[in-house]
């Protein structure tokens, strides 16, 4: 009796967990009803779902009312097979299931004296009748065919109601600021806890789908006053696939063109504003710019370890860029010194998907963004402090996310789910140690601003740092 009670309590805990976290992992569901040609419900119909995105197959049996439910399905293009002795086997192809979508597929099966098969193509439902969510999904096939940047959020702005607003904190959804959104990678919350922006980047080639939900999302996203962005990383399959890509760019005139004019406060004359062009001011019309270049590689491989049982996908995306510049500290009159700024990214991901036994699907993923930089470059105006140890500046920024999900379909009416995720980001290994005393920073537009004659500024030169 005690053993039965323990098993029942464990099942209740798993069910409660699946209720609390089900929508965090953007899985879909296909449900519907099977009837005969007289409109009578058909119990006992075997329903099987297969997809290139689904490891193994999902299967269930219709109940006494002819209803079936296929739960915890990854998004993709599905084929459904309905079979029952004495009836023609029915195949529904090209059923497109999107993230967090519930599709209703009702079918009618016809009696057959001999074994026959009916195939229906191109009648996929277009509307999720179970949802009031306002949002849009963008798949890998879509964003890889469009002009794009190097991050998944470079194309989100083409969705209705979504745009990039620099002064509003980044991605604006239906007028909300960029700090009011929530961000998820493979179900794990990666929202920056301090300012609310995205805490992690995922390179486009490593993304399978992105969904932006503007409104109508469930209570677990209550921390969002803007949009909810779900990013799903790529997974393996029953065939091997991979990518090798390389990118290079620099700041030469032939690649970037001439700099544009902009309005600034003159760094040498207080309260004087002027339109200037950096190429004309500092770089001989753009022909003697700071030496800058950027290198990036993308290496990925996905496939199977055991067909229909265990899939894998792994990727590595190193990025390196460097700037070498000549600077002085005497308002561009010399002497000149060389400074170097180096930046390195190590982006990577790995994902395992398994279907070890019938009804059980397991997925685990790890996404890494590691960034570090060394060296800093003084202002091109020649107004910075020569005592600053520019060559020592630098930080490391470790950033990673791990997520897992376990789904077990016990019956047509029972799904047990267990899932979790962890996101960690940090800042360490400073090149210049923080001072052991208080300092005051005066941010001034030019060297002759009013702060420079402030009595406290003049009387306490060791406490002040003019930036």
Per-residue buried b or exposed e for 9-36, using 16+ beta carbons within 10 Å of the residue's own CB: eeeeebeeebeebbbbbbbbbbbbbbbb
The parts of the chain modelled with pLDDT lower than 50 are 1-23, 126, 466-467
Cα distances (angstroms) measured from residue 369 to each of 397, 444, 463: 8, 34, 37
Burial status of residue 436 (CB atoms within 10 A of its CB: 0-12, 13-18, 19 or more): exposed
The dihedral over CA atoms of 138, 144, 146, 149, expressed in degrees to the nearest 10, equals 100
What pLDDT is stored for residue 8 in this prediction? 42
* Span 278-326, pLDDT tens digits: 999 999 988 899 999 999 999 999 999 999 999 999 999 999 999 999 9
* CATH number 2.170.130.10 is the correct assignment for the domain at 134-231: yes
- The answer to whether residues 149 and 157 touch, using CB atoms and an 8 Å cutoff, is no
Rounded Cα distance between 132 and 102, Å, is 11
Angle in degrees, CA 324, 265, 169, rounded to 5: 75
What pLDDT is stored for residue 118 in this prediction? 63
- Kindly report the number of other CB atoms within 10 A of residue 268's CB atom: 13
What pLDDT is stored for residue 390 in this prediction? 94
- The answer to whether residues 199 and 191 touch, using CB atoms and an 8 Å cutoff, is yes
What pLDDT is stored for residue 165 in this prediction? 76
CATH number for 2-121 (one of 3.40.50.12280, 3.40.800.10, 2.60.40.1120, 3.40.50.2300): it is 2.60.40.1120
Beta strand 310-327 with 291-306 is: antiparallel
Rounded Cα distance between 353 and 232, Å, is 13
Rounded Cα distance between 96 and 20, Å, is 26
Angle in degrees, CA 18, 23, 26, rounded to 5: 115
Assigned token pair, 127: 């509307």
What pLDDT is stored for residue 206 in this prediction? 82
Closest by CA to 71, choosing from 83, 60, 55, 84, is 60
Closest by CA to 87, choosing from 56, 122, 123, 62, is 62
What residues does each domain of the chain span? 2-121, 134-231, 241-251+290-433, 435-467
What pLDDT is stored for residue 225 in this prediction? 79
Q: Is the dihedral of CA 124, 127, 129, 135 positive or negative?
A: positive
Q: In the beta sheet, which residues pair with residue 212? A: 136, 229
Q: Is the dihedral of CA 146, 147, 149, 155 positive or negative?
A: negative
pTM of the model: 0.79
Cα distances (angstroms) measured from residue 10 to each of 3, 5, 71, 211, 453: 11, 9, 21, 33, 71
Q: What is the 3-state secondary structure (H, E, C) of the chain?
A: CHHHHHHHHHHHHHHHHHHHHCCCCCCEEEEEEEEECCCCECCCCEEEEECCCCCCCEEEECCCCCEEEEEEECCEEEEEEEECCCECEEEEEEEEECCCCEEECCEEECECCCCCEEEEECCCCCCCCCCCCEEEEEEHHHHCCCCCCCEHHHCHHHCCCEEEEHHHCEEEECCCCHHHCEEEECCEECECCCCCCECCCCEHHHEEEEEEEEECCCHHHCCCCCCEEEEEECCCCCCCEEEEEEEEEECCHHHHCCCCCEEEECCCCCCCEEEECHHHHHCHHHCCCCEEEEEEEEEEEEEEEECCCEEEEEEEEEEEEEEEEEECCCCCCCCCEEEEEEEEEEEEEEEEEECCCCCEEEEEEEEEEEEEEECCCCCCCCCCCCCCCHHHCEEEECEEEEEEEEEEEEECCEEEEEEEEEEEECCECCCCCCCCCCCEEECCCCCCCHHHHCHHHHHCCCCEEEC
Beta strand 228-233 with 207-215 is: antiparallel
- The answer to whether residues 23 and 184 touch, using CB atoms and an 8 Å cutoff, is no
């Amino acid at each position: 009796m005690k053993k039965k009670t323990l098993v029942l309590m464990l099942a209740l805990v798993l069910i409660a967990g699946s209720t609390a976290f089900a929508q965090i992992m953007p899985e879909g569901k296909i449900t519907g009803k099977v009837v005969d040609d007289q409109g009578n419900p058909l119990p006992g119909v075997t329903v099987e779902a297969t997809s290139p995105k689904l490891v193994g197959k999902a299967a269930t049996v219709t109940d006494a009312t002819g209803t079936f439910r296929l739960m915890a399905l990854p998004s993709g293009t599905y084929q459904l097979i309905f079979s029952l002795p004495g009836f023609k086997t029915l195949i529904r192809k090209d059923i497109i299931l999107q993230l967090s979508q519930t599709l209703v597929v009702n079918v009618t099966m016809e009696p057959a004296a001999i074994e026959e098969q009916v195939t229906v193509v191109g009648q996929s439902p277009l509307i999720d009748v179970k949802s009031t969510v306002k949002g849009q999904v963008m798949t890998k096939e879509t964003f890889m065919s469009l002009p794009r940047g190097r991050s998944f959020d470079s194309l989100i702005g083409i969705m209705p109601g979504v745009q990039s607003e620099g002064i509003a904190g980044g991605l604006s959804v239906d007028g909300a600021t960029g700090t009011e959104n929530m961000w998820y990678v493979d179900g794990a919350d990666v929202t920056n806890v301090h300012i609310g922006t995205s805490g992690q980047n995922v390179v486009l080639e490593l993304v399978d789908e992105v969904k932006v939900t503007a409104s109508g999302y469930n209570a677990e996203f209550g921390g969002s006053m803007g949009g909810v962005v779900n990013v799903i990383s790529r997974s393996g399959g029953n065939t091997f696939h991979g990518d090798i890509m390389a990118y290079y760019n620099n700041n030469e005139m032939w690649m970037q063109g001439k700099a544009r004019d902009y309005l600034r406060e003159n760094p040498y004359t207080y309260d004087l504003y002027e339109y200037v062009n950096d190429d004309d001011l500092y770089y001989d019309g753009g022909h003697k710019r700071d030496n800058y270049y950027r290198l990036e590689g993308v290496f990925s491989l996905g496939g199977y370890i055991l067909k229909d049982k265990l899939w894998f996908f792994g990727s590595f995306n190193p990025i390196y860029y460097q700037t070498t510049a000549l600077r002085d500290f005497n308002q561009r009159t010399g002497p000149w010194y060389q400074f170097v700024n180096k930046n390195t990214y190590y982006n990577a991901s790995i994902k395992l998907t398994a279907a070890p036994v019938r009804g059980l699907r397991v997925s685990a993923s790890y996404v890494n963004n590691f960034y570090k930089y060394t060296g800093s470059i003084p202002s091109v105006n020649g107004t910075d402090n020569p005592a600053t140890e520019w060559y020592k500046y630098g930080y490391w920024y470790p950033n990673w996310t791990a997520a897992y999900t376990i789904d077990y379909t016990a019956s047509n009416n029972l799904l047990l789910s267990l899932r979790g995720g962890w996101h960690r980001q940090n800042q360490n290994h400073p090149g210049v140690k923080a001072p052991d005393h208080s300092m005051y920073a005066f941010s001034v537009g030019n060297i002759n601003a009013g702060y420079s004659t402030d009595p406290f500024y003049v009387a306490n030169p060791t406490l002040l740092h003019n930036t």
